[in-house]
Amino acid sequence: MAPRTDAAAHCSSRSVFCFLLFLRVSVWMSVFFIIIHRVESTYSRQDLLILGLRCASSITSDYHNFHSILEDIMRVPGSTNYKTTTNYNYKPCNTTLTEGNASLAEELNHFFARFEVKGPEAAAAKTSDSSSTSSPSLMVQEYEVRRTLRAVNPRKAAGPDGVTARVLKECADQLAGEFTKIFNTSLSQSCIPPCLKSATIVPLPKRTNISSLNDYRPVALTPVIMKCFEKLVQRHIMSCLPPTLDPLQFAYRANRSTEDAIATTLHTTISHLEVQGRYARLLFVDFSSAFNTILPDRLIVKLLEIGLPSTTCRWIRDFLSDRVQRVRVGPHLSSALSLNTGSPQGCVLSPLLYTLYTHDCVSTHPDNAVIKFADDTTVVGLISGRDETAYRAEVQRLSDWCVDNNLDLNTNKTKELVVDFRRRKSELRPVSINGECVERVSSFKFLGVHIDTDLQWSSNTSAVLKKAQKRLHFLIILRKMDLKKELLTVFYRCLIESVLTYCIGVWFSSCTTAQRKALQRVINMAQKIIGHPLPSLKDLYSTRCLKRARSILRDGTHPGHGVFKLLPSARRFRLLRSRTNRLKDSFYNRAIALINANS
């Protein structure tokens, strides 16, 4: 027999390798279908099949495909709150499904435009125009535009213009110069091309069972290039804002987060309760379609009062005026509507403009506090001697302010939480808004953290455990698919540790021993699955709490900065004088102790 050539040997080796690879993939797919059979009662077969194919492909290139694997896992029902599909269950009566979707698009378009104010306020417009001066307009540089285009997420959905994010990202060098000219012309003339202001509204269901048009959330798909433009303007606006503007607004501010908003709310409440005979009433306010109610001319007046350049203010007014929107339901597209009220959800500038629009919504009495994170507003009433006059007056002023500023206060979703540790409790009169009584609850989910009336964190611990254990199931699946320890650790930190440590500084130190052990068991289980040591929950708490405390110390404008008071030695900080364990175990007192221990 003639000896085989090198080429033949290479082909033979390659065939063997391909066969072994195919065999390995087949085995893992078989295992995966067994897993499907066991859990298909909970998760859809299609979602799990996608996950299995991704994991099978990761055998030969783990790191390259891990990001895609992670995204697919996050889309599996139960792993996160992400909804993979939109099911338009609601449709008008006496119509077929197709006709219903077509008419639904029209109904939704008019429903989302229900806050439109006919005829802008003339007084506000005149004030805006008369206040305008010849201040220099914003000018963007080509390198800024190029950097913004390069940072675009290529998976971002295209707007009505059909220009994809990937095209802008990959052609950033070629397009930056031309778009710089367009942007600067727009800024100098305070005028935006109509094609950049158009939006396609995609209604997303707020809940599983759709019973009314209000169960849909309008999300605007705008041109990707306009989002890049908005980011450049946003940086300019942020640089013009005074650092002392609305210190109790924690959204879209440097060195602020939801954890700061919760910590400030709890510290204000707990400090007040240190004196016997006191109690607190927390009103969690809900607004209907808050972003869609902004009056452009009223906003411009407020921006000029803050100190923004008049040219920027005129550009913002044009940005919010004559916006054309259409609603898309499946393949159906509604007719166009032109709006002059509100800022669409999905625009980069919308959240920031809303926070500036509400910057004058502040408390008027020292016994009250209005704490905000974007459109999440909380009124904290500190009651002494059963005198609720100031608190009820604050609620009434908030209601009047909403009427004056075109905000729709939703009484049905507004809730009140009463924190009362008095031995002799009296019956409290309910708070009413616009003639409707506000529901009083025993627990409320505030910025992602469940707060109970007894401040014991049992509801929050149960919610965190349930969510973390559900995601732990996917870690087991990935471990059985022979992923490397490094990737399993990344998955754990992204999807499990992030749940366990969300706002951990405000609740962990006040948890009971049983609650801490239950949470630690999740980490112990993950550690066994991965086969690699993981930091304990206590260590994670100490590290994050210390880091947060140091960042507050460096920020003199932070509302909690004044809590840190140096002792005469100027080396250590004074602990808070606490009569109860509630204040002793609070975030700020524990943060001071950690700072002292690590100084």
Provide CATH code, domain 258-289+357-452.
Answer: 3.30.70
Q: What is the pLDDT of residues 112-136, one digit of tens each?
A: 888 887 654 433 444 444 444 456 6
Q: What mean pLDDT is predicted for residues 32-54? A: 42
CB 554 within 8 A of CB 504: no
Q: Report how far residue 325's alpha carbon sits from residue 336's, in angstroms, rounded to the nearest whole number.
A: 6
SS3 content of the chain, % helix, strand, coil (to 5): 50, 15, 35
Ranges for all domains in the chain classified under CATH 3.30.70: 258-289+357-452
- Secondary structure class of 415 (helix, strand, coil): strand
pTM: 0.81
pLDDT confidence band for 174 (50 / 70 / 90): very high
Q: Report how far residue 261's alpha carbon sits from residue 99's, in angstroms, rounded to the nearest whole number.
A: 46
Q: Counting Cβ atoms within 10 Å, is residue 262 exposed (0-12), middle (13-18) or buried (19+)?
A: buried
DSSP annotation of 308: -
Residue 239 has pLDDT above 70, yes or no: yes
DSSP annotation of 4: P
Lowest mean pLDDT of 36-45, 153-162, 266-275, 317-326, name the range: 36-45
The residues with which 216 forms a beta bridge, in sequence order, are: 205
- Residue 294 is predicted with a pLDDT of 92
CB 548 within 8 A of CB 555: no
Residue 2 has pLDDT above 50, yes or no: no
CA dist 524 to 273, 356, 532, Å?
A: 37, 45, 10
Residue 353 has pLDDT above 70, yes or no: yes
- Residue 68 is predicted with a pLDDT of 55
Q: What mean pLDDT is predicted for residues 189-212? A: 88
pLDDT confidence band for 243 (50 / 70 / 90): confident
pLDDT confidence band for 87 (50 / 70 / 90): low
Of residues 567 and 44, more confidence is placed in 567
How far is C-alpha 479 from the chain's CA centre?
31
Q: How is residue 506 written in tokens? A: 């405000």
Q: How is residue 597 written in tokens? A: 């221990």
Lowest mean pLDDT of 2-11, 337-346, 466-475, 529-538, name the range: 2-11
Q: Report how far residue 121's alpha carbon sits from residue 533's, in angstroms, rounded to the nearest whole number.
A: 63
Sign of CA dihedral 476, 478, 482, 485: negative
Identify the CA nearest to 283 among candidates 460, 110, 411, 138.
Answer: 411
Residue 63 has pLDDT above 80, yes or no: no
Residue 213 has pLDDT above 90, yes or no: no
Residue 262 has pLDDT above 70, yes or no: yes
Q: How many C-beta atoms lie closer than 10 Å to residue 276's C-beta?
A: 9
- Residue 119 is predicted with a pLDDT of 58
Q: How is residue 494 written in tokens? A: 């992204």
Residue 255 has pLDDT above 50, yes or no: yes
Residue 591 has pLDDT above 80, yes or no: yes
According to the per-residue pLDDT averaged within each range, which of 29-43, 235-249, 491-505, 567-581 is highest? 491-505
Residue 30 has pLDDT above 50, yes or no: no
H or E element in which residue 36 lies: helix 6-39
Of residues 204 and 86, more confidence is placed in 204
pLDDT confidence band for 211 (50 / 70 / 90): confident
- Secondary structure class of 369 (helix, strand, coil): strand
Q: What mean pLDDT is predicted for residues 137-141? A: 87
CB 153 within 8 A of CB 277: no
- Residue 28 is predicted with a pLDDT of 46
Share of the chain above pLDDT 70, in %: 80
- Residue 558 is predicted with a pLDDT of 93
- Residue 135 is predicted with a pLDDT of 61
Q: How is residue 86 written in tokens? A: 């939109």
Half-sphere exposure of 48 (CA within 13 A, CB side): 20
Share of the chain above pLDDT 90, in %: 58
